[in-house]
């Protein structure tokens, strides 16, 4: 079965099937998790030393807690943001300029990152902590922007490979 979006509507080059959409959503999650692992390792190394412990201990601790927690939160963010991403994709499906798609989906990712950080850090808001101004929040926003834009690009690339298979 060919999942070519051009078969159904020739004037809508970037109108993806549900399967292609979810492939892009999974790709965005995987990209985010890769960035998260790198960020956790770098943060653990930066924060290691007295009184916290050696770098390997901090890396282990950060990854032990950061990967499951980050993975679950990122998965929930993907599910919560899917209807918005689907609607955005439908709105942009007739636009052929790839840069517009990447910028739009990256902006959606950045907004999602801000929203997730705001929700996750809501309990600390009562203590007057400006979490959204912290470097980690900016890193999460950037990771979300890269991962959502990357997930869209992965979908386009895979759809192109299916449409024009190598001979």
Our CA angle for 22, 25, 28, nearest 5°, is: 155
Contact 141, 114 (CB under 8 A): yes
User: How confident is the prediction along the chain (167 residues), in pLDDT tens digits per residue?
Assistant: 455 444 444 555 677 888 889 999 999 999 999 999 998 898 888 888 888 788 898 899 889 998 999 999 999 999 999 999 999 988 988 888 889 999 999 999 999 998 888 887 776 666 655 656 667 778 888 999 999 999 999 988 888 777 777 65
Closest to 64 in 3D by CA, of 41, 81, 82: 41
Secondary structure (3-state) at 49? strand
Q: Is the pTM of this model over 0.75?
A: yes
């Amino acid at each position: 079965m060919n999942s070519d979006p051009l078969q159904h509507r020739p004037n809508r080059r970037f109108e993806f099937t549900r399967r292609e959409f979810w492939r892009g959503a999974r790709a965005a999650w995987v990209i985010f998790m890769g960035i998260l692992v790198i960020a956790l390792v770098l943060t653990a190394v930066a924060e290691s030393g007295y009184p916290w412990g050696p770098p390997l201990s901090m890396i282990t601790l950060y990854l032990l807690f950061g990967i499951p927690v980050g993975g679950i939160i990122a998965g929930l963010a993907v599910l919560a943001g899917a209807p918005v991403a689907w609607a955005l994709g439908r709105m942009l499906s007739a636009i052929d300029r790839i840069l517009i798609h990447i910028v739009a989906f990256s902006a959606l990712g950045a907004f999602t990152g801000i929203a997730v950080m705001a929700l996750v850090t809501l309990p600390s808001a009562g203590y007057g902590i400006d979490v959204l101004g912290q470097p980690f929040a900016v890193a999460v926003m950037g990771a979300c922007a890269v991962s959502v834009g990357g997930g869209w690009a992965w979908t386009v690339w895979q759809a192109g490979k299916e449409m024009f298979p190598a001979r």
